[in-house]
């Protein structure tokens, strides 16, 4: 007669091992996606910071406006698709940055050439908001686990 205990034990062990492997892989992929989300938010905030210069001429004002508008689209998409564990504090800071960039978007491209000082005035608050987002996103990124 065939002893069923080893066979059933092997089946149960294989089933449990398979389920654990799938769960660990899914958790790892979620964590990787979360880290990538934080890194994208940080990169976009850095782009806003880099676009800000000490003196604005026509070209610098146009570049700053275009950079801000480009960041706005990507940042809005990231906010809409944020992972569940992202804090409300970070999302509010990112939305604040979005609002500041929206002001830049409302400025006409030609207005940036005619009135660089206005773009400079608009970039100041945007840079401050970007620094806040970078700080918060960097701190939260460190809390993401390995699995």
Instruction: Report the range of poorest mean pLDDT among 8-12, 68-72, 89-93, 130-134.
Output: 8-12
**Tell me: the pLDDT tens digits for 58-117?**
888 888 888 899 999 999 999 999 998 999 999 999 999 999 999 988 887 777 778 888
**Would you call 81 helix, strand, or coil by DSSP?**
coil
For residue 50, is it within any domain? yes
**Tell me: the pLDDT tens digits for 13-53?**
787 778 778 788 888 888 988 999 999 999 999 999 998 88
For residue 147, is it within any domain? no
Range of the domain at 83: 4-141
For residue 34, is it within any domain? yes
For residue 55, is it within any domain? yes
pTM comes to: 0.81
**In angstroms, rounded to a whole number, what is the distance separating the alpha carbons of residues 80 and 47?**
20
For residue 146, is it within any domain? no
State how many domains the chain has: 1
Q: How many CA atoms lie within 13 A of 139 on its CB side?
A: 8
Token pair of 119 as six digits:
């773009």
Token pair of 9 as six digits:
């034990």
**In angstroms, rounded to a whole number, what is the distance separating the alpha carbons of residues 3 and 10?**
12
Q: What is the 3-state secondary structure (H, E, C) of 58-94?
A: HHHHHHHHHHHHHHHHHHHHHHHCCCCCCCHHHHHHH
């Amino acid at each position: 007669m065939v002893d069923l205990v080893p066979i059933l034990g092997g089946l149960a062990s294989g089933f449990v091992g398979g389920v654990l492997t799938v769960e660990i892989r899914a958790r790892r992929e979620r964590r990787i996606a979360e880290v990538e989300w934080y890194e994208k938010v940080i990169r976009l905030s850095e782009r806003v910071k880099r676009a800000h210069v000490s003196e604005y001429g026509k070209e610098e004002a146009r570049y700053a406006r275009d950079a801000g508008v480009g960041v706005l689209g990507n940042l809005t998409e990231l906010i809409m698709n944020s992972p569940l564990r992202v804090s409300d504090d970070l999302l509010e800071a990112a939305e604040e940055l979005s609002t500041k960039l929206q002001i830049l978007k409302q400025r006409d491209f030609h207005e940036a050439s005619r009135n660089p000082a206005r773009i400079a005035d608009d970039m100041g608050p945007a840079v401050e908001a970007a620094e806040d987002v970078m700080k918060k996103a960097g701190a939260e990124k460190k809390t993401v686990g390995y699995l």
